Structure 1
Amino acid sequence: MDDKKIAVLIDAENVSGKYIKLILDEVSNYGSATYKRLYGDFQTPSVRAWMKNLRDYAITPVFQYNYTQGKNASDSALIIDAMDILYSGNVDGFCIVTSDSDFTKLVLRLRESGMTVIGMGERKTPNAFVSACETFKFLDILLNDENPSQNPSLPQTRKESEADGSRKEAEKESDPNAVSNIPNMEEMEKEIISIINTHADDDGWVDLSELGDNLPKRVPGFDPRNYKCTKLKQFIELFDSVEVRSARNPHNKILSIIYVRVKQKEEKPVLSKVRRGGKRKKDADAEE
């Protein structure tokens, strides 16, 4: 995917400039940022704060004056540019950086044209926009995880992870306007078990990569880092209902293949009773 060309379009009026390095780092996981444009009314203090990043990260500013108070003209400018870029045929995908659901229709239109669309924003981003994107990154979570002073140790048990999963309620209380789109651990467990049951082999095992491909499709915005886990395997191991095992990769001795399945219920010792009963019958016949 390194050769994919990505157009990065940032809504400066809805996203803080403190995320800029994180945004570009995440985009680099999908390809090269060939377009980097920032939209907003630079008379606004929050947008003007982005100015220091323009030179350092080679971002093209697109100034859009808001002709009417309360109306965001920069949204229209971003949408028009996105469609121009789409029809130019110069990119393979888009990264739309915003916490505004007004861009939902744009994302749907880009995906209808076969474009990969990566969304980025904060947890307050409405579900409609998160679901419309092929993948979505919650910038405030990822930024906190990169900050050691705000990043507690990773959860090691399910109880700890469930407590961590409930942090969205506490955050919602601290910020009444915030809306969290991160499913709790119970919801994630149901999705994981459903995927395993759908794709498992006769023994109930499924390749971890299969799970990794399907989780973001079922849970928009899913990322192990949302739950303070650096890898998918670490996240899956938090659940008591599933088990993980590794097997040697026949094509590469250095690498291993990781499999996951729902833990099997203990079988009732019915056969052993039959055997014991059969043995007693044989002994009785011998006595006769």
Structure 2
Amino acid sequence: MTQSSSRIAVLIDSDNVSASHVSHVLAELARYGTTSVRRMYGDWTSDRLRGWKEAANEHSIQPIQQFSYTTGKNSTDSALIIDAMDLLHQNHLDGFAIVSSDSDFTRLAARLRESGAQVYGFGERKTPPPFVNACDTFTYFDVLQVDEVVPEKETSTKPTPGSAADENPAAARPTSKQLRQDTRLMNLVRAGIVAGADDDGWAHLGEVGSTVRKQSPDFDSRNWGFSKLGDLLEAIGLFELKRVVGPSGGTNLQVRIPMKK
């Protein structure tokens, strides 16, 4: 699904996001295109944003200074929104990545989509649903770290309290029973399969994932601890999966809801 020709603007609300997430966000966006514009917004005179200097240098992100004119008011949001609209009309960009958990960007995301741009949202689990649903795709910070390599000496077959698996909800995989009891998950998957099914009930896995994300932008198999959608569906254990060899020799995965006998 990689689109190397797509040009994406990354706009980071540094007042609302930790610098530790930047490398993971940029790595995720590499799947969709080239992050040709990278900007981060905040009051850089504040000591609490000191950690962003290293991230800016390492990832070549342009810092945009926005003074906090009034206590309790966030001027950063306005600066980011204005820049986003300028970029929309001045540059030939294909998408925008808004990195924030702030619901103030809900209308911005909707407006960018209305203009035909893809909107990729990134934030914490606390991100309000209106902002999540205004994006084409929304990814939570914690799932971006699921596939990190852990040194062998730190690996344990049984997580201990306070470990990464204990702190990261996406790192601990639920059982098949727990997955089946997740009503929202099951409804989304079934609806996605039905929407893309052929006469025999088979649907291409890629189309299923695309359909589900249109209904629920934050849908991501990594939310349940699985790197791929196929692995998640196999773990649920209620669907039939098969690999089909295409004319070019490549294979793709298909899925269907078992036929009633």
Q: TM-score range by the shorter chain?
A: 0.7 to 0.9
What aligned pairs does 1:212-227 form with structure 2 within 5 A after superposition?
212-227=209-224
**TM-score, normalised by the number of residues in structure 2:** 0.87
Describe the superposition over 1:46-92 as per-residue Cα deviations: whole angstroms up to 9, x where unpaired. Answer: 32221111111111111111110000011111111111111103311
Structure 2 residue 248 is matched with structure 1 residue 252: yes
| Structure 2 partner of 1:159 | 177
What aligned pairs does 1:29-178 form with structure 2 within 5 A after superposition?
29-146=31-148, 148=150, 150-151=164-165, 155=173, 157-159=175-177, 161=179
Larger Rg over CA atoms: 1
Q: How has the CA–CA distance of structure 1 residues 154 and 14 changed in structure 2, closer, same or farther, with 3 Å as cutoff?
A: closer
| Structure 2 partner of 1:208 | 205
- Corresponding letter in the other structure for 1:259: Q
| SS in structure 2 at match of 1:260 | strand
| SS in structure 1 at match of 2:236 | coil
Describe the superposition over 1:88-115 as per-residue Cα deviations: whole angstroms up to 9, x where unpaired. Answer: 0331111110000001111111111111
The answer (yes or no) to whether the contact 1:94–1:115 under 8 Å persists in 2 is yes
Instruction: Please state how far the C-alpha of 1:145 moved relative to its aligned partner.
Output: 4.7
Structure 2 residue 206 is matched with structure 1 residue 188: no
Describe the superposition over 1:23-61 as per-residue Cα deviations: whole angstroms up to 9, x where unpaired. Answer: 111111111111111101123333222111111111111
Identical aligned pairs, as a percentage?
41
CA RMSD of aligned residues (A): 2.0
Describe the superposition over 1:219-256 as per-residue Cα deviations: whole angstroms up to 9, x where unpaired. Answer: 1211111111111110111223211112222x122x22
The answer (yes or no) to whether the contact 2:174–2:224 under 8 Å persists in 1 is no
| Separation in 2, partners of 1:15, 1:154 | 24
Instruction: Please state how far the C-alpha of 1:160 moved relative to its aligned partner.
Output: 5.7
The answer (yes or no) to whether the contact 1:98–1:119 under 8 Å persists in 2 is yes
| Separation in 1, partners of 2:85, 2:252 | 42
| SS in structure 2 at match of 1:238 | helix
Instruction: Please state how far the C-alpha of 1:161 moved relative to its aligned partner.
Output: 4.6
Aligned length: 243
| Structure 1 partner of 2:257 | 262
Instruction: Please state how far the C-alpha of 1:187 moved relative to its aligned partner.
Output: 1.2
Give the unaligned 5+ runs of structure 1.
163-183, 268-288
Structure 2 residue 20 is matched with structure 1 residue 18: yes
Structure 2 residue 236 is matched with structure 1 residue 239: yes
Q: Which piece of structure 1 moves more, 143-152 or 200-209?
A: 143-152
**TM-score, normalised by the number of residues in structure 1:** 0.79
| SS in structure 2 at match of 1:202 | coil
The answer (yes or no) to whether the contact 2:97–2:120 under 8 Å persists in 1 is yes
The answer (yes or no) to whether the contact 1:154–1:229 under 8 Å persists in 2 is no
| SS in structure 2 at match of 1:65 | coil
Q: How has the CA–CA distance of structure 1 residues 260 and 50 changed in structure 2, closer, same or farther, with 3 Å as cutoff?
A: same
Instruction: Please state how far the C-alpha of 1:158 moved relative to its aligned partner.
Output: 0.6
| Separation in 2, partners of 1:105, 1:84 | 15
- Corresponding letter in the other structure for 1:91: L
Give the unaligned 5+ runs of structure 2.
151-162
Higher helix share: 1
| Separation in 1, partners of 2:48, 2:211 | 38
